[in-house]
Amino acid sequence: MAKNTMYLYGKNSVLERLKANPKSVRQIMLQDNFNAPHITDIIKSKGLPVKYVTEKELTRIKNADRLQGIVAVVERFQYKPFDELLTPEVKSLSLIFLDNINDPHNLGSIIRIAACFGGFSIVIPEHSSCEINETVLHVASGGENFIPISKVTNLSTALRQAKESGYWAVGAVVEGGEDINKTSLPFPLCLVLGSEGKGIRYGIEKHLDLKVTLPMKGAKISFNVAMSCAIFAHEITRQKPATK
C-alpha cells in the first residue's frame, strides 16, 4: 500500500466516507458474498474501482476484527491546521484538547461522540499521543468526516493560543474540581481531557481557567476518558448559547 494511503474498513466507516468524501477513496475490496445494496449502489454511482475477493483474501489485505466484508483504500487522514480552528467562521465550535490519549479505541470513540453532538473540534498533540490511524477511524464509524481534527506540535502552546483568541480553558479532573452539574460554563470553551492514568499534565493544567469534576456517588472507580467526554459534551451542548 502506498505511503499516502490507509485502509478504512467496516460498513459504517466506508459508507460515511463514500457519502462525505468519495474523492478520497482510491479502491474498494468487497468480500465475494457482500450484500449491502445501500453501499454498493453508492459505489457504482461514484464510479469507484471495486475488487471482489474471498474472506481469506480480505483478511490478508487487512487483518482486523469486524471487517464486515468491506475494505477501502483511502487517502491518508488530513489534519486541519490549528490556526483555522480559531477563525471567526469556526469559532462557534468548542475545542476538545486531548492530553496523552494513547488508546486508539478511546480516541475513535471521542471522535464519534464529538461528531454525534456536533459543534466540536478536536486537538491532539504530535507526540505522546495516538494519531488518527486505521483503528481510530474504524471505531469513529465515520465521525472523522463531520468534525475538524488538528494535530499540534505543543498542546500547551496551542491552548495558550486559543486563550489569547478568546477561549476559556476548562479542565476535567477526577477530584477537586467544581461540580459540573452546578457550574455555569464560560464560552467559547476549550475542554481539556487527560489520560486515565496521568490526568492532565502540569504544563497544561497551569493554563486552566476552571476545573470541573463529575460527581460519582457509586463505586470508587472512574469513567474512562471517552465516557467522560460524552458526559461533558452533553453538558457543554446543553449550556452553549444559541448561535445567531
166, with CB counted inside 10 A (0-12, 13-18, 19+), is: exposed
Tens digit of each residue's pLDDT (9 = 90 or more) over 161-200? 999 999 999 999 988 999 999 999 999 999 999 987 788 9
Return the residue matching grid coordinates 483511502: 74
Mean pLDDT value of segment 100-124:
97
Structural domain boundaries in the chain: 5-75, 82-239
**What pLDDT sits at residue 91?**
67
**What pLDDT sits at residue 31?**
98
DSSP-assigned letter for residue 196: T
**What pLDDT sits at residue 124?**
98
The more confidently predicted of residues 243 and 223 is: 223
Provide the CATH topology of domain 82-239: Alpha/beta knot (3.40.1280)
What per-residue string of b and e applies to 108-133 under the rule 16 or more CB within 10 Å gives b? Answer: bbbbbbbbebeebbbbbbeeebbebe
Tell me the whole-structure pTM to 2 decimals.
Answer: 0.95
Number of helices and strands (H, E) in the chain? Answer: 9, 11
Q: What spatial distance separates the first Cα and last Cα of the chain, rounded to whole Å?
A: 46
Q: Which CATH class is domain 5-75?
A: alpha beta
DSSP bridge partners of 221: none
Tens digit of each residue's pLDDT (9 = 90 or more) over 73-90? 999 999 999 999 998 776
Of the pLDDT bands very low, low, confident and very high (cuts 50, 70, 90), residue 243 is low
Examine the pLDDT at 226 and tell me if it is beyond 80: yes
d(CA 244, CA 238): 16
CA 145 to each of CA 12, 51, 118, 124, 181: distance values in angstroms, whole numbers, following the listed order: 12, 24, 12, 17, 31
Examine the pLDDT at 10 and tell me if it is beyond 60: yes
Label residue 114 left, alpha or beta by phi (over 0 means left) and psi (-120 to 50 means alpha): alpha
Tens digit of each residue's pLDDT (9 = 90 or more) over 33-62? 999 999 999 999 999 999 999 999 999 999
Mean pLDDT value of segment 104-111:
97
